[in-house]
């Protein structure tokens, strides 16, 4: 029983879990922002390229 009370008083495990949750939240936010920007950038690039092609301008390598 004494070991159980000592375990409850020990804070290192709780701090580790807090850091894991915080890191996972930051990664999830970064992935969601990256997904949003990825779609937006390709949509804008497609519009620019279509405008260039419709105006007779061709992209070269």
Reported as a single tens digit per residue, the pLDDT across 12-26 is 677 788 899 999 999
Flag whether 46 is in a domain. yes
* Structural domain boundaries enclosing 49: 23-53
Flag whether 1 is in a domain. no
- Tell me the mean pLDDT in the region 23-36: 91
For residue 48, what pLDDT is reported?
86
pLDDT at 50 over 80: yes
Count of structural domains, the chain: 1
Give how far Cα 8 sits from Cα of 1, 18, 19, 20, 60, Å.
11, 16, 19, 19, 67
Q: Torsion over CA of 16, 17, 19 and 22, rounded to 10 degrees? A: 180
pTM attached to this predicted model: 0.51
How far is it, in rounded angstroms, from Cα 16 to Cα 13?
Answer: 5
């Amino acid at each position: 029983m004494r070991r159980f009370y000592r375990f409850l008083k020990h804070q290192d495990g709780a701090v580790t879990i807090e850091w894991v949750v915080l890191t996972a939240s930051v990664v999830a936010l970064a992935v969601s922002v990256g997904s949003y920007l990825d779609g937006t950038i390709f949509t804008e690039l497609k519009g620019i390229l279509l405008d260039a092609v419709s105006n007779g301008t061709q992209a070269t390598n």
